[in-house]
Structure 1
Amino acid sequence: MKVIRIFQALGFVLSLALASGAYAQSDSSAPSATVASAASGKANQTSIKKADRKLGSDVRRALSKTRDIEVENIFVRAHGGAVTLTGSVPDNAQIGRAEEVAKSVPGVISVTNKLSLQPQNY
Protein backbone atom coordinates (compact mmCIF):
# COMPACT_ATOMS: atom_id res chain seq x y z
CA MET A 1 0.00 0.00 0.00
CA LYS A 2 2.86 2.37 0.83
CA VAL A 3 4.51 1.59 -2.51
CA ILE A 4 1.36 2.60 -4.39
CA ARG A 5 1.17 5.92 -2.51
CA ILE A 6 4.84 6.58 -3.25
CA PHE A 7 4.25 5.97 -6.97
CA GLN A 8 1.19 8.20 -6.90
CA ALA A 9 3.19 10.98 -5.26
CA LEU A 10 6.04 10.56 -7.78
CA GLY A 11 3.53 10.64 -10.64
CA PHE A 12 2.00 13.85 -9.29
CA VAL A 13 5.41 15.51 -8.92
CA LEU A 14 6.48 14.37 -12.37
CA SER A 15 3.30 15.66 -14.02
CA LEU A 16 3.65 18.95 -12.15
CA ALA A 17 7.25 19.30 -13.37
CA LEU A 18 6.25 18.51 -16.96
CA ALA A 19 3.35 20.95 -16.86
CA SER A 20 5.52 23.78 -15.57
CA GLY A 21 8.19 22.96 -18.17
CA ALA A 22 5.60 23.04 -20.95
CA TYR A 23 4.29 26.37 -19.66
CA ALA A 24 7.81 27.82 -19.65
CA GLN A 25 8.36 26.74 -23.26
CA SER A 26 5.08 28.13 -24.51
CA ASP A 27 6.15 31.66 -23.49
CA SER A 28 8.90 31.81 -26.13
CA SER A 29 7.93 30.98 -29.69
CA ALA A 30 11.49 30.65 -31.04
CA PRO A 31 12.29 27.19 -29.60
CA SER A 32 8.97 25.72 -30.73
CA ALA A 33 9.46 27.16 -34.23
CA THR A 34 12.94 25.65 -34.35
CA VAL A 35 11.60 22.25 -33.30
CA ALA A 36 8.82 22.50 -35.88
CA SER A 37 11.23 23.42 -38.68
CA ALA A 38 13.61 20.61 -37.68
CA ALA A 39 10.74 18.11 -37.74
CA SER A 40 9.58 19.50 -41.08
CA GLY A 41 13.12 19.25 -42.50
CA LYS A 42 13.44 15.64 -41.38
CA ALA A 43 10.07 14.74 -42.88
CA ASN A 44 11.07 16.47 -46.13
CA GLN A 45 14.38 14.60 -46.20
CA THR A 46 12.55 11.31 -45.65
CA SER A 47 10.15 12.02 -48.51
CA ILE A 48 13.07 12.91 -50.82
CA LYS A 49 14.79 9.61 -50.00
CA LYS A 50 11.55 7.75 -50.60
CA ALA A 51 11.12 9.45 -54.00
CA ASP A 52 14.73 8.62 -54.92
CA ARG A 53 14.22 4.95 -53.99
CA LYS A 54 11.02 4.81 -56.05
CA LEU A 55 12.68 6.41 -59.08
CA GLY A 56 15.60 3.98 -58.84
CA SER A 57 13.15 1.10 -58.59
CA ASP A 58 11.20 2.37 -61.60
CA VAL A 59 14.37 2.59 -63.69
CA ARG A 60 15.45 -0.89 -62.59
CA ARG A 61 12.01 -2.26 -63.50
CA ALA A 62 12.13 -0.61 -66.93
CA LEU A 63 15.58 -2.07 -67.56
CA SER A 64 14.47 -5.54 -66.51
CA LYS A 65 11.46 -5.41 -68.87
CA THR A 66 13.72 -4.61 -71.82
CA ARG A 67 14.54 -7.86 -73.59
CA ASP A 68 17.92 -6.93 -75.01
CA ILE A 69 19.46 -5.82 -71.68
CA GLU A 70 20.91 -8.18 -69.08
CA VAL A 71 20.36 -6.43 -65.74
CA GLU A 72 22.07 -8.91 -63.40
CA ASN A 73 25.14 -6.66 -62.99
CA ILE A 74 23.51 -3.26 -63.46
CA PHE A 75 23.09 -1.06 -60.40
CA VAL A 76 20.82 1.98 -60.39
CA ARG A 77 21.13 4.96 -58.08
CA ALA A 78 18.80 7.96 -58.16
CA HIS A 79 19.21 11.31 -56.47
CA GLY A 80 16.87 14.19 -57.18
CA GLY A 81 15.97 12.94 -60.64
CA ALA A 82 19.57 12.26 -61.61
CA VAL A 83 20.14 8.56 -62.27
CA THR A 84 23.51 6.84 -62.27
CA LEU A 85 23.98 3.44 -63.89
CA THR A 86 26.98 1.40 -62.74
CA GLY A 87 28.08 -2.16 -63.24
CA SER A 88 28.79 -4.21 -66.31
CA VAL A 89 27.05 -5.71 -69.31
CA PRO A 90 28.25 -8.46 -71.67
CA ASP A 91 27.57 -6.57 -74.90
CA ASN A 92 28.64 -3.07 -75.93
CA ALA A 93 25.23 -2.29 -77.48
CA GLN A 94 23.58 -2.77 -74.08
CA ILE A 95 25.45 0.21 -72.61
CA GLY A 96 23.75 2.76 -74.86
CA ARG A 97 20.43 0.92 -74.78
CA ALA A 98 20.37 0.97 -70.96
CA GLU A 99 20.91 4.73 -70.98
CA GLU A 100 18.05 5.22 -73.47
CA VAL A 101 15.68 3.13 -71.36
CA ALA A 102 16.65 4.99 -68.17
CA LYS A 103 16.06 8.38 -69.84
CA SER A 104 12.58 7.28 -70.90
CA VAL A 105 11.39 6.69 -67.32
CA PRO A 106 9.13 9.50 -66.02
CA GLY A 107 10.89 11.59 -63.38
CA VAL A 108 14.40 11.05 -64.74
CA ILE A 109 16.12 14.38 -65.37
CA SER A 110 19.57 13.14 -66.33
CA VAL A 111 21.46 9.86 -66.68
CA THR A 112 25.11 9.25 -65.89
CA ASN A 113 26.15 6.04 -67.59
CA LYS A 114 29.11 4.35 -65.89
CA LEU A 115 28.42 0.90 -67.31
CA SER A 116 31.40 -1.07 -68.53
CA LEU A 117 31.84 -3.95 -70.92
CA GLN A 118 32.47 -7.25 -69.17
CA PRO A 119 32.22 -10.19 -71.59
CA GLN A 120 30.83 -13.30 -69.94
CA ASN A 121 32.98 -16.41 -69.82
CA TYR A 122 31.02 -19.51 -70.72
Structure 2
Amino acid sequence: MKSVGYLKTLGSVVAMVVACNVYAQASDAQTGATATAAENVKAGKRANHELGRKVRGALTKTQGLDVSNISVRARAGAVTLTGTVPDQRQIDSAGEAAKGVAGVKSVSNKLTVMQQ
Protein backbone atom coordinates (compact mmCIF):
# COMPACT_ATOMS: atom_id res chain seq x y z
CA MET A 1 0.00 0.00 0.00
CA LYS A 2 2.86 2.34 0.83
CA SER A 3 4.43 1.68 -2.58
CA VAL A 4 1.25 2.88 -4.36
CA GLY A 5 1.35 6.18 -2.46
CA TYR A 6 5.05 6.49 -3.20
CA LEU A 7 4.46 5.91 -6.93
CA LYS A 8 1.64 8.47 -7.01
CA THR A 9 3.89 11.07 -5.40
CA LEU A 10 6.76 10.24 -7.73
CA GLY A 11 4.43 10.47 -10.75
CA SER A 12 3.20 13.90 -9.62
CA VAL A 13 6.76 15.18 -9.24
CA VAL A 14 7.76 13.88 -12.69
CA ALA A 15 4.68 15.49 -14.26
CA MET A 16 5.51 18.81 -12.61
CA VAL A 17 9.14 18.73 -13.80
CA VAL A 18 8.08 17.91 -17.37
CA ALA A 19 5.48 20.71 -17.36
CA CYS A 20 8.03 23.27 -16.12
CA ASN A 21 10.59 22.15 -18.71
CA VAL A 22 8.09 22.44 -21.57
CA TYR A 23 7.06 25.92 -20.41
CA ALA A 24 10.69 27.06 -20.23
CA GLN A 25 11.38 25.84 -23.78
CA ALA A 26 8.28 27.59 -25.14
CA SER A 27 9.32 30.84 -23.46
CA ASP A 28 12.82 30.59 -24.94
CA ALA A 29 11.38 30.06 -28.41
CA GLN A 30 9.19 33.14 -28.09
CA THR A 31 12.08 35.24 -26.82
CA GLY A 32 14.22 34.07 -29.74
CA ALA A 33 11.51 35.00 -32.24
CA THR A 34 11.14 38.43 -30.68
CA ALA A 35 14.90 38.99 -30.76
CA THR A 36 15.05 37.93 -34.41
CA ALA A 37 12.24 40.34 -35.31
CA ALA A 38 14.02 43.17 -33.51
CA GLU A 39 17.25 42.36 -35.31
CA ASN A 40 15.43 42.41 -38.65
CA VAL A 41 13.98 45.84 -37.90
CA LYS A 42 17.42 47.16 -36.96
CA ALA A 43 18.95 45.68 -40.11
CA GLY A 44 16.24 47.33 -42.23
CA LYS A 45 16.82 50.70 -40.61
CA ARG A 46 20.56 50.30 -41.09
CA ALA A 47 20.06 49.46 -44.79
CA ASN A 48 17.76 52.47 -45.27
CA HIS A 49 20.29 54.77 -43.59
CA GLU A 50 23.12 53.40 -45.72
CA LEU A 51 21.14 53.82 -48.95
CA GLY A 52 20.24 57.39 -48.01
CA ARG A 53 23.89 58.11 -47.32
CA LYS A 54 24.89 56.73 -50.73
CA VAL A 55 22.26 58.84 -52.50
CA ARG A 56 23.36 62.00 -50.64
CA GLY A 57 26.93 61.22 -51.67
CA ALA A 58 25.90 60.85 -55.31
CA LEU A 59 24.00 64.15 -55.17
CA THR A 60 27.01 65.91 -53.68
CA LYS A 61 29.24 64.65 -56.49
CA THR A 62 26.83 65.84 -59.19
CA GLN A 63 28.25 68.88 -60.99
CA GLY A 64 26.10 72.02 -60.89
CA LEU A 65 23.72 70.73 -58.20
CA ASP A 66 23.09 72.79 -55.06
CA VAL A 67 22.41 70.16 -52.37
CA SER A 68 22.18 72.58 -49.44
CA ASN A 69 18.35 72.42 -49.33
CA ILE A 70 17.80 68.80 -50.43
CA SER A 71 16.66 66.09 -48.01
CA VAL A 72 16.89 62.39 -48.83
CA ARG A 73 14.73 59.65 -47.33
CA ALA A 74 15.21 55.99 -48.21
CA ARG A 75 12.87 53.14 -47.36
CA ALA A 76 13.23 49.63 -48.77
CA GLY A 77 14.87 50.90 -51.94
CA ALA A 78 12.38 53.73 -52.51
CA VAL A 79 14.08 57.13 -52.31
CA THR A 80 12.25 60.41 -51.75
CA LEU A 81 13.92 63.73 -52.51
CA THR A 82 12.40 66.83 -50.90
CA GLY A 83 13.46 70.44 -50.64
CA THR A 84 14.23 73.31 -52.97
CA VAL A 85 16.70 74.03 -55.75
CA PRO A 86 17.29 77.18 -57.85
CA ASP A 87 16.09 75.81 -61.22
CA GLN A 88 14.30 72.94 -62.99
CA ARG A 89 17.51 71.58 -64.46
CA GLN A 90 18.76 70.76 -60.96
CA ILE A 91 15.54 68.88 -60.16
CA ASP A 92 16.09 66.65 -63.18
CA SER A 93 19.78 66.27 -62.38
CA ALA A 94 19.07 65.21 -58.78
CA GLY A 95 16.51 62.63 -59.90
CA GLU A 96 18.91 61.09 -62.40
CA ALA A 97 21.75 61.00 -59.88
CA ALA A 98 19.53 59.24 -57.32
CA LYS A 99 18.35 56.66 -59.88
CA GLY A 100 21.97 55.82 -60.66
CA VAL A 101 22.77 54.63 -57.12
CA ALA A 102 22.93 50.86 -56.60
CA GLY A 103 20.02 49.62 -54.50
CA VAL A 104 17.59 52.35 -55.52
CA LYS A 105 14.37 50.80 -56.85
CA SER A 106 12.37 53.99 -57.32
CA VAL A 107 12.76 57.75 -56.90
CA SER A 108 10.01 60.12 -55.82
CA ASN A 109 11.32 63.55 -56.77
CA LYS A 110 9.43 66.16 -54.74
CA LEU A 111 11.95 68.94 -55.23
CA THR A 112 10.61 72.39 -56.04
CA VAL A 113 12.14 75.44 -57.69
CA MET A 114 12.76 78.39 -55.43
CA GLN A 115 14.73 81.41 -56.51
CA GLN A 116 17.46 82.19 -53.99
TM-score range, shorter chain: 0.7 to 0.9
1-structure distance, mates of 2:37, 2:99? 30
* 1:27 maps to which of 22, 45, 51: 22
* 1:1-122 mapped onto 2 (5 Å cutoff): 24=20, 26-28=21-23, 29-120=25-116
Q: 1:72: Cα distance to partner?
A: 0.1
Residue type of the partner of 2:113?
A: L
2-structure distance, mates of 1:79, 1:95? 20
Instruction: Please give the TM-score of this superposition, normalised by the length of structure 2.
Output: 0.80
RMSD: 1.4
Q: Secondary structure at the match of 1:116?
A: strand
User: Could you report, residue by residue, the CA deviation over 1:35-76 in whole angstroms, capped at 9, with x for unpaired residues?
Assistant: 101000001100100000000000000000111110000000
Runs of 4+ in 1 over 6 A off after TM superposition: none
Q: 1:113: Cα distance to partner?
A: 0.5
Instruction: Please give the TM-score of this superposition, normalised by the length of structure 1.
Output: 0.76
Q: Which is greater in Rg?
A: 2
Residue type of the partner of 2:22?
A: D
Q: 1:27: Cα distance to partner?
A: 2.7
Q: Secondary structure at the match of 2:51?
A: helix
Q: Matched residues, percent identical?
A: 47
Q: 1:84: Cα distance to partner?
A: 0.2
Equivalenced residues, count: 97
2-structure distance, mates of 1:41, 1:68? 43
